[in-house]
Structure 1
Amino acid sequence: MASLTPMMQQYLQLKERYKDCLLFFRLGDFYEMFFDDAVLASKELELTLTGRDCGMEERAPMCGVPYHAVDTYIARLVEKGYKVAICEQMEDPALAKGLVERDVIRIITPGTITDGSMLDEKENNYLLCAHVNGDNCGIAFVDISTGRCSITQLQTAGLADELARIQPAEMMANEPFFDQAGMLKTVQQRLDIKPGHCSVEFDDVDKAYAMLEANMSADVLDYVSKEEMPQAVCALASLISYLIETQKTALANIGGIEVYHIQQYMILDAATRRNLELCETMRSGSHKGTLMWVLDHTSTAMGGRMLKSWIEQPLLNINALNERQEAVEAMANQPLWKDDIKEALSGIYDIERLMSKAVYGNINARDLIALKQSLGRLPRLNELALQGKAARLKTLGQRIDVMDDIYTLIDKAIADDPPLSVKDGNIIKDGYDQSVDELRDISHNGRQWISRLEQQERDRTGIKSLKVGYNKVFGYYIEVTKSYYDMVPADYIRKQTLANAERYITPELKEMENKILSASERLVALEYQIFADIRDTVVGHIKRVQQTASAIAELDCLCSLADAAIENHYVRPVLNEGQRIVIQNGRHPVVEKVLPPHTFVPNDTLLDNGEDMVCIITGPNMAGKSTYMRQVALIVLMAQIGSFVPADMAEIGIVDRIFTRVGASDDLSTGQSTFMVEMTEVAHILHNATAKSLLILDEIGRGTSTFDGLSIAWAVIEYVADPGRLGAKTLFATHYHELTELEGRLTGVKNYYISVREHGDDVIFLRKIMRGGSGRSFGIQVARLAGLPQDVIDRAREILDILNASDINKKSISGNILGVKDRPKLKLKQQMDIFSYKIDGIMAYIKGLDVNSMTPIEALNVLHDIQSQVLDIYDKKAGEAL
């Protein structure tokens, strides 16, 4: 270190403190990186790697980025998962007497981004901390770009489902979390979340709460109870410690802690969210083609984020849902009034994130103008909301603070079209501050003053060639040529002698020189100080802004749901605490949007916990079984976010969870086959569902042998249909047509099929759900539609004919498929003689069976045994006959 330059020593001392970060070190107009950081950043950001003399024999690797473009580069690094420490010059280099003082002012991580340009405007960006203690777990998560902070406590087994909902951009956890290998693997590989260790870990809830009290105001902690949620309090303390460590400022934008219980909401696991494509599609991960895409007509970023949270966290509280529905209905019934609200909303910027930028010192003058313009919309929005014919709308109107005091402050102080940087001047309006006006006048009118002085001195002295000039060494001067030396006034002070002239100054010129030369610099500094004071004043009203922002977001959500209802011809569902789900002419909200108008075929649904508990749905591939089941799930979910639904009529008994087992996929990262993934998901459903849950099960049992798959599917239906074990409302699609035998055997099981019409070799899918079972899957016809070669289709038909004509016995079937004539063809009389042989014995065996006491699977196995006996007799007697 002793051999290094002072600046490089300073750099390495700071780097030692922030080893896990890329250190952006401010040098003039650039942020520089050195050594390993420079090599890494040059690769990740495609920057030119240079070098700098640092006092060692070899030059230090170096690369850098301009300060005015730093946000773009930081965003790219953070997106790749890096942490970036911002080291600023803490004093003016021009005034520093030695090495410029520098320090890290902020650490930017994936979960601590506040700049809206680095974030998706309709997505929250959560930093989350989990604290595991045996079977109990507490979580705390915050979006510091909006100030929203929440905590809850739950069973450790339910942590993965909650993480799947929150999808944090950054996660940390205490040591016991990492001891649970299964949980860690699920989080890392299935949810694609890479948790890190807490930098400060709290095991003592009293110490955790004391830390929170020391760093947060009492009203913020109003609803946080260390007795009721000890693990959540520990998680929150670790979270706040991390924010203090990285943000290095007071967390003024966290205006309150939301305490919630997962029992308040419908629980949706990761598989269900994926299969129902709530906010992103399974194949591309895009927004288009999701439920959010259909319902999102929001006008503000805040409304978009809130609507997403509603979709991902449906309610169980009927009163709250009815309030939302009444508001949506009021808007749908008054479209002109609703459009006025949308017009008012359309001019409102993301004031939540603007306020967070103000708290963390990142706001600029243009942001304040955006805030002012947003506030200017509030009086009209407040007036319109109070006119609403639903109680919730009036409540929201009352919560909208028009904040005319903040509007007036910004309007009077900040220029209408300020520059992007707050340190370039021209951000304070004329007339707001007298000192600014004086300095601006001097700075802008200095040349005119100099011209006036020059003419004034020519008139006073009579020296016609006199001129006022300027250079960087001597400043301003009055120049007089030799021929006019005798006319120089006594108050001129000689400053410089030239070959043919003398240069002078006067006290008046010197005073003005000082004013002119320092005016611009002082003006910029003064404008920035005034701007900072205005910013701090605005931050002092953050709770008012956040409360209003929340009301605006909810109003926007309700307006969006009304737009969706009008555009797509949705109806208001009837909600109750009962067990029935009744849907007349229900439609899939997404599929009907991508099909040509009026081509989607609607279908009815009846589910309850009694006679219509399990619907077994058979029919061809591509006929619409999966679409139908998903549409039922989506209609229920839409009803429980307060939305209207795509149907002619819907009665929805509140469900606590929706489970889906749809599609085939393996998980190579965990070494799980397609069948293993399927069975794992089925196990999760059967262990966690309740009688109030809705189950969507598609093709259970595929991926293994026919008998194994059929047996598993059969047993699953018995389990879910049994009120003593589960008794949950279930839609069960299958190609195992044998399962249709369960209707009449099991209470609550009903058969349905998707109707088709055959036309020669073609199949026309009618998409209509009908009572009864289907005996065929039409797989070959579907394969033909998919484009399989005709030779393959023809051969498949031949094999299908053989299978249909053959016994289920594997040896017999395989032999015939391969064309092996292992059983001789006999004349009819010979066949009759063979099958009369010992036929009485076989019949006696059958009569001796107590079929009524058998399970369906046992009866099926007995049937196979009888078939095998018949074939054995055939083979034996056929040989004798020949």
Structure 2
Amino acid sequence: MESTKRLATPSDDEGDNTDTRKRVRWNNGSDSSAATPVEEASSLDEGDGSKIFAAVTGCHGRVGGVYFNPGSGALYLMGDTIDGSHFDLVRMFLEQIKADVCLVSSRADEHLIAFCQEFMELSGGQCQVRPHKEFVPHKGQAKLQQLDLLARLPQTEFDNSDGVVPSGVPRNVNDFVDSRRNLENDPNTQRVYAAIRLLNFGADEAPLCLSSAAALLEQLLRVQATEELDETQNHLGALRINNIEILSLNQVMHVNADALASLQVFDDENHASIHSDKTKEGHSLFQLLNHTSTHMGRALLRRWCLRPSLSITTITARHAAIECFALAENKNSVSSIRTNLSGLCQVPKTMALLRTGRGKLSEWRGVAKFAYHVNLLKDTVRELRNCENIGAVDQLLKALDDVDTEETGALVNMVIDWGESQNNQRVCVNPGVDEALDEKKRIYNGLDDLLVHVARQVSQNMPEGYTSELNVLYFPQLGYLIRIPTPSGWTTNKDFEQISEWNFQFESEKNLYYKSQQMLAEDLDMHVGDIHSYIADREIEIMEETLGRVLKYDKAIITACEAAADVDCLLSLTFASWLHGWIKPEMTEENVLEIRGGIHPLQSLLVPTFVPNDAHLVGGQGLGIDNDVNDTKSIMICTGANACGKSVYLKQNALIPFMAQIGCFVPAQSARLGIVDKIFTRLQTKEGVSKLQSAFMIDLAQVSLALRNCTARSLIILDEFGKGSLSTDGAGLFAGVINQLLKRGNNCPKVFASTHFHELFTRGLILPELPISYTYMKVLLNSNVAQEGERQAEITYLFKVTPGLCLDSYAAQCATMYGINKRIVERARLVSTILSRNEIGLLLDEDMPQEQMDELEVQAAICQRFASWEMSADDDIGVKDRLREVLGKGTN
């Protein structure tokens, strides 16, 4: 005879799964981690599979858009802005947010629709043309006002710093929910409050932006309803939008996707595993700078690299923070801060899950871990020396002080029994929190003995054949049942009801289940009851109470995490700057780019020795500008041998100001930099079967983008522009672009260019009196003669930038270095020399070597014999024999 309590399905026949059957999940979730409260919580990354949705519409030359970032829960609004016919602004918007799905109104400009469809197809995303009735401004305004973020009233929070809860504070979940409902559910108050809040974003003056918001929010609702399959969540208040921000593209540097790829700011590589379709960061500037400790920090650093700042105040503040963190006396403190930052999980997403009732044990563990590490973080941040005026540090301390982590951490650890929760795969409450719950748990733990006693009483009145295998079980929601094996021959309900004293309930594959008044089932149901369900329900109520007390710090926790992410990025830049020996640049309001001893941050890691070079340009120094200082030019043209390092030099001169405006130190001996508002490049041509453009057309598109959008503070990099066409056409295009930029006068941008079109200077396409700085990459020619059968380099690259022009590309020497046949190289030199002198007729008059003359005579005789061959059907000689005669090989 066996008697025990069981929480499994009735079909379970074995008795060794009792612990598994006793599980009741919190929020129907499971957690298999065995971590302690201060160990790693759920790994919530921005790459969690959530898609980034964007919506764009436009007409009559104006565009507006919005996008939602699921990682941060922020909704970004791009106000109505004038854009050109090429939609450069929309391109930059989509490139920087990396949208997975873009919604466009069916009544938008047809060229805008075509542009978005083409762009999303090339980027691997999806463009959906939605009905125009979804893009309505007043609908967007109404939907925004219904968001919980805008409609929710601020709540009066009691001071609980001493740990004593006032008597008027609700102590159970029902009172807590009622108090929130009474406070927030006045529709008129909600509407007025939301309308006032919405005015802060200036959206009432941006109908296109509001139209896009209406379509985007409608799409998010559809997606949420599909994913969650929960009708109760199908309303705007249930959307997990934590913040609304204005996307100000005029406050950040404009860098398009081509420039980011050409400068290797990002480099996505396929994952090493063939079973994964994810990508990883390759050898790139971001990979070089990324030493962040948190997911939010990594996402923020990526945004900094996508959108460098144009504010000198912001840039210099970041430089000052890096300078402070790099001090020797702060080394230990910085190390401790990075360690404690690594203990912070992605708390905003954790809080969002808890707020919507979808939190599991891992989320509660994340809250406890957050409180633990924040307490340590406060102490270590205060140990920093000479950081009194560092804004990021002050903001972090203030944000951390606003979160009562001692109360939050103590509350969560006091309420949750981590060991039992881990074993039961649900959130369980500690003993001592609720007396009634403790009593129910005591009864539940002693239920085995009670059921054994009841089973013995029942077995006394049973036939002897049943008593040995009789079990008394407890099933949640079903109550207390007797289980016996199904006797052989019993197949119908009539057979099952042969035991008259028992009431048949149901059958499983091998067993029958009964209730009996003899086993006092009614008394058990009445006095003991469905005890497990009661325990689970009461624990949910207690956790709801605890959640309410934790959520009062919701905004403060998110603010603290954002401040911590900011410090995390600065510490990452500090570590990268210290590791590579970079220096603090001098930022100035002047439109100048002055670099001494600059190096390429990526290329320098791949070679044993890197030669530093200087650069000096001043924007706005085009034609018609009086300038007494001879060396202040806006355009630099670099010439030199093939493979001498011109492209690397151009790239490093773009990367140094880019890094400075991120807030990082720069790889140079010194740097004096003005603000660069846009960077355009013609460095790299990405071809593919999906692009209906040739390489030359792609180059032209890149230069056209630069010419349309550049300003005096822009930086343009042109590396051998025009090489994809005829040399005459390419040289003409290059000269035309340079002259057009110079004619802009004080609007002339800063330009670094390289070229091999020497006719630009020999034929006067670019006049020597133009305000252009000329440089070349120095090389050393080798005068030694190679021995017979050996190849010896005739040129040595010095990689040093020198003022002046170089009108020799040294292509022949390069060809010799890389193994091209010497005869071919010599012939190429001869032809090149003759063409450069416009003496092409010499190629016709030159004498052939005797060997070539003899060979030519033989070939001429063959042609003559073949031409004199009269073919006829009466010819006695076969065709093959005749061909041998023609070729002069005789017959067999």
Same fold by TM-score greater than 0.5: yes
Aligned to 2:662: 641
Aligned to 1:769: 801
**In structure 2, how many angstroms separate the alpha carbons of the residues matched to 1:328 and 1:194?**
40
**In structure 2, how many angstroms separate the alpha carbons of the residues matched to 1:632 and 1:173?**
38
Aligned to 1:243: 220
1:503 CA displacement: 11
Which deviations, in whole Å up to 9, do the C-alpha atoms of 1:314-345 show, x marking residues without a partner? 11111111111111111111222211211211
**In structure 2, how many angstroms separate the alpha carbons of the residues matched to 1:159 and 1:466?**
80
**In structure 2, how many angstroms separate the alpha carbons of the residues matched to 1:629 and 1:733?**
8
Aligned to 1:340: 336
Aligned to 2:59: 133
> 1:789-808 alignment to 2 at 5 Å?
790-791=820-821, 794-806=823-835
- Pair 1:275–1:421, CA change in 2 (3 A): farther
Which deviations, in whole Å up to 9, do the C-alpha atoms of 1:341-364 show, x marking residues without a partner? 112112111112222333444421
| Alignment partner of 2:530 out of 513, 518, 536 | 518
1:617 CA displacement: 0.8
Letter in 2 for 1:213: Q
Aligned to 1:745: 768
Aligned to 1:352: 348
CA contact (8 A) 1:580 1:606 kept: yes
| Alignment partner of 2:738 out of 698, 704, 717 | 717
CA contact (8 A) 1:696 1:731 kept: yes
| Alignment partner of 1:575 out of 552, 574, 587 | 587
Does structure 1 residue 270 correspond to structure 2 residue 257? yes
- Pair 1:267–1:533, CA change in 2 (3 A): same
**In structure 1, how many angstroms separate the alpha carbons of the residues matched to 2:553 and 2:594?**
49
| Alignment partner of 2:115 out of 183, 187, 191 | 183
CA contact (8 A) 2:64 2:78 kept: yes
**In structure 2, how many angstroms separate the alpha carbons of the residues matched to 1:654 and 1:631?**
16
Aligned to 1:427: 428
Which deviations, in whole Å up to 9, do the C-alpha atoms of 1:87-132 show, x marking residues without a partner? xxxxxxxxxxxxxxxxxxxxxxxxxxxx9668527x9952211122
> 1:132-151 alignment to 2 at 5 Å?
132-151=58-77
1:550 CA displacement: 0.8
**In structure 1, how many angstroms separate the alpha carbons of the residues matched to 2:43 and 2:101?**
17
- Pair 1:503–1:383, CA change in 2 (3 A): closer
Aligned to 2:412: 410
1:204 CA displacement: 4.4
* 1:273 match: secondary structure: helix
* 2:685 match: secondary structure: coil
TM-align CA RMSD? 4.0
Which deviations, in whole Å up to 9, do the C-alpha atoms of 1:161-189 show, x marking residues without a partner? 12111111222121244711652354134
CA contact (8 A) 1:661 1:682 kept: yes
CA contact (8 A) 2:812 2:829 kept: no
**In structure 2, how many angstroms separate the alpha carbons of the residues matched to 1:748 and 1:225?**
45
- Pair 1:69–1:430, CA change in 2 (3 A): closer
Does structure 1 residue 193 correspond to structure 2 residue 119? no
> 1:581-592 alignment to 2 at 5 Å?
581-592=593-604
**In structure 2, how many angstroms separate the alpha carbons of the residues matched to 1:421 and 1:144?**
32
Does structure 1 residue 296 correspond to structure 2 residue 223? no
Greater RCO, 1 or 2 (C-alpha within 8 Å, sep 6+): 2
Does structure 1 residue 656 correspond to structure 2 residue 666? no
**In structure 1, how many angstroms separate the alpha carbons of the residues matched to 2:317 and 2:265?**
23
Letter in 2 for 1:238: A
- Pair 1:723–1:474, CA change in 2 (3 A): closer
1:796 CA displacement: 3.2
Does structure 1 residue 211 correspond to structure 2 residue 207? no
- Pair 1:578–1:474, CA change in 2 (3 A): closer
- Pair 1:379–1:818, CA change in 2 (3 A): farther
| Alignment partner of 1:230 out of 207, 210, 225 | 207
Q: Which stretch has the larger CA shift, 203-212 or 725-734? A: 203-212
Does structure 1 residue 620 correspond to structure 2 residue 607? no
CA contact (8 A) 2:31 2:426 kept: no
Does structure 1 residue 600 correspond to structure 2 residue 610? yes
CA contact (8 A) 1:382 1:398 kept: no
**In structure 2, how many angstroms separate the alpha carbons of the residues matched to 1:680 and 1:419?**
60
**In structure 2, how many angstroms separate the alpha carbons of the residues matched to 1:620 and 1:720?**
26
1:440 CA displacement: 3.2
**In structure 2, how many angstroms separate the alpha carbons of the residues matched to 1:736 and 1:120?**
46
**In structure 2, how many angstroms separate the alpha carbons of the residues matched to 1:538 and 1:622?**
62
Aligned to 2:104: 173
- Pair 1:222–1:337, CA change in 2 (3 A): farther
1:533 CA displacement: 5.2
**In structure 2, how many angstroms separate the alpha carbons of the residues matched to 1:515 and 1:602?**
86
* 2:254 match: secondary structure: coil
1:227 CA displacement: 4.0
* 1:572 match: secondary structure: coil
Q: Which stretch has the larger CA shift, 212-221 or 449-458? A: 449-458
1:777 CA displacement: 2.0
* 1:646 match: secondary structure: coil
- Pair 1:471–1:321, CA change in 2 (3 A): same
**In structure 1, how many angstroms separate the alpha carbons of the residues matched to 2:693 and 2:467?**
93
Aligned to 1:25: none
Q: Which stretch has the larger CA shift, 667-676 or 741-750? A: 741-750
CA contact (8 A) 1:224 1:233 kept: no
**In structure 2, how many angstroms separate the alpha carbons of the residues matched to 1:800 and 1:624?**
23
CA contact (8 A) 1:476 1:513 kept: no
* 2:806 match: secondary structure: coil
TM-score between the two structures when normalised by the length of structure 2: 0.69
Aligned to 1:6: none
* 1:669 match: secondary structure: coil
* 1:221 match: secondary structure: helix
1:253 CA displacement: 3.9
1:717 CA displacement: 1.5
CA contact (8 A) 2:31 2:360 kept: no
1:540 CA displacement: 5.4
1:587 CA displacement: 1.4
- Pair 1:230–1:455, CA change in 2 (3 A): same
1:634 CA displacement: 1.0
* 1:139 match: secondary structure: strand
CA contact (8 A) 2:106 2:131 kept: no
Identity over aligned residues, as a percent? 22
- Pair 1:798–1:259, CA change in 2 (3 A): same
- Pair 1:474–1:204, CA change in 2 (3 A): closer
**In structure 2, how many angstroms separate the alpha carbons of the residues matched to 1:458 and 1:520?**
26
Aligned to 1:163: 94
CA contact (8 A) 2:31 2:422 kept: no
- Pair 1:746–1:418, CA change in 2 (3 A): farther
Letter in 1 for 2:824: R
> 1:254-333 alignment to 2 at 5 Å?
254-280=241-267, 286-333=280-327
1:474 CA displacement: 11
**In structure 2, how many angstroms separate the alpha carbons of the residues matched to 1:593 and 1:300?**
26
Aligned to 2:370: 374
1:812 CA displacement: 3.6
Letter in 2 for 1:553: A
Q: Which stretch has the larger CA shift, 560-569 or 769-778? A: 769-778
How many matched pairs?
Answer: 686
* 2:63 match: secondary structure: strand
CA contact (8 A) 1:476 1:505 kept: no
* 1:371 match: secondary structure: helix
**In structure 2, how many angstroms separate the alpha carbons of the residues matched to 1:234 and 1:136?**
13
CA contact (8 A) 1:442 1:515 kept: no
1:652 CA displacement: 0.5
- Pair 1:784–1:726, CA change in 2 (3 A): farther
- Pair 1:167–1:296, CA change in 2 (3 A): same
Aligned to 1:730: 751
